[in-house]
Structure 1
């Protein structure tokens, strides 16, 4: 007797390896982002792609708010072409990260999705801030 889990056979090891390695080319997680931010190893731009009011209510410290609808060549102009963008939104129930990633990929920009978004960040025990990056850089 088989379960709903095993009814469809698992991929062979080589297929599984290719699949899971490919996922890491498209995704990162809250722990890896937190580690990079807290250890001075941030080699990416963290974009909060939610609306401005959601960002102001609480976001990851150091994130830049760029709602997915506003991602275009003009809003990206200040970043070198090879800048890696890591996008996040509210959480697994939100597809703003995919919308943002599509816009970035169409602009020929490297992009990864931070899986879990704000929900995952909080679930991992990490804090949000309400201070915006401009205020942070001015020490306010």
Structure 2
């Protein structure tokens, strides 16, 4: 058993100066968005982006975010311009934080000249937050995981 003796962050590695930290976090927010923000935007009349599922066809059929466009990351270079207006911002997602499919998709879109962000957490956290999932049977909502959402069902309000 490992005993944790620290009362705070590992200060053996110093924090960046405030200006460098601010630049880092501003860049991070310009490149990533989270499941809760994507869902909230998609609930409005015009989300301001196109959500792209970069997973395989089998994964898409198993369940996807309602309103998403299916375009596996391996086909983006050949098919994106026929499916998605290049003036639109693209948000990509894949299975989970452990999967690079969304990052590969975002890179392909960026190389094609699209403004792009990655949805952190992917389909895993979409489902864990109890958000709607679409399959060939229709749209359903599964129970939220209490480890990732507040007990009253309100998702991240950060």
TM over 0.5: yes
Cα displacement (A) at 1:77: 2.8
Partner SS state of residue 91, structure 2: strand
Kept in 2: contact 1:57–1:130 (CA 8 A): yes
> What's the TM-score once normalised by structure 2's chain length?
0.77
2:127 counterpart of 1:122: yes
Partner SS state of residue 72, structure 1: helix
Work out which of the residue numbers 93, 100, 108 in structure 2 matches 1:95.
100
Kept in 2: contact 1:73–1:107 (CA 8 A): no
> What's the TM-score once normalised by structure 1's chain length?
0.86
By relative contact order (CA 8 Å, sep 6+), the higher-ranking structure is: 1
Query: 1:103 and 1:35, CA in 2 relative to 1: closer, same or farther beyond 3 A?
Result: same
Cα displacement (A) at 1:75: 3.3
Q: Which runs of 5+ in 1 are unaligned?
A: none
Q: Which runs of 5+ in 2 are unaligned?
A: 140-158
Query: 1:105 and 1:33, CA in 2 relative to 1: closer, same or farther beyond 3 A?
Result: same
Work out which of the residue numbers 24, 46, 49 in structure 2 matches 1:44.
49
Partner SS state of residue 90, structure 1: coil
- Aligned match of 1:20: 25
Partner SS state of residue 128, structure 1: strand
RMSD across aligned positions (CA): 2.3
Kept in 2: contact 1:68–1:99 (CA 8 A): yes
Q: Which runs of 4+ in 1 moved over 3 A?
A: 1-4
- Aligned match of 2:38: 33
Distance, in Å, in 1 between the alignment partners of 2:83 and 2:63 is 25
Cα displacement (A) at 1:79: 3.0
Cα displacement (A) at 1:4: 7.1
